[in-house]
Chain A
Amino acid sequence: AQSVAQPEDQVNVAEGNPLTVKCTYSVSGNPYLFWYVQYPNRGLQFLLKYITGDNLVKGSYGFEAEFNKSQTSFHLKKPSALVSDSALYFCAVRVSGGYNKLIFGAGTRLAVHP
């Protein structure tokens, strides 16, 4: 079955420290992977995507993600966290075959403390 897992419900990090939000996936064929961020009572905002090419993908607001095929992971990273990065983060994978269906992880809440 095709799926996405975000193993951490919450990640806590001090402002200025590096952050990592984890994501693993299971999909048939080549994976198309996405990260989104959601602020309270708002829609999801697209951060970055991996389709093919360089394993390190750079996105919005200083975020980047590392694709690791052997570990089937796509972890979101940022070198220096800001308090304003505190939000809910979703990893998603496109289901192979058919239309542009995305499967979302359950989300990871990032809390950046001053």
Chain B
Amino acid sequence: DGGITQSPKYLFRKEGQNVTLSCEQNLNHDAMYWYRQDPGQGLRLIYYSQIVNDFQKGDIAEGYSVSREKKESFPLTVTSAQKNPTAFYLCASSKAELPYEQYFGPGTRLTVT
């Protein structure tokens, strides 16, 4: 997990509320990613960013939004439009040059009731 921090570790929200998950890295990586992990489904890509002020939708972007104002930070907002937001969320980063491995943060477990 070294070099990437995610906060908080556990997050509880009521249905209908937006919530923002924090991701910070000090690895000087250009690229950052957000994944969602559900039991038995592996990881699915939500959003990715290859450079500051630019980001792209991944495979399951609906109901999520991101920003990339600083190289070190890539926060994810889970909006009320996300129909099934309860999940384990993982942030990762990598060098922009391919094909370097991605390094992951410790994750945030979000529970929406």
Contacts and interface: CB of A to CB of B under 8 A. Distances in A.
Contacts of B58: 101
Interface in B56-113: 56, 58, 88, 90, 92, 94, 96, 98-107, 109
A100 B52 CA distance: 16
Given A44-B90, A94-B99, A106-B40, A99 B48 contact: yes
Interface residues of B, number: 29
A91 to B, nearest CB: 9
Nearest to A36: B104
Interface of A: 9, 32, 34, 36, 41-46, 49, 51, 90, 94, 99-102, 104-107
Interface of B: 1, 4, 6, 31, 40-43, 45, 48, 50, 56, 58, 88, 90, 92, 94, 96, 98-107, 109
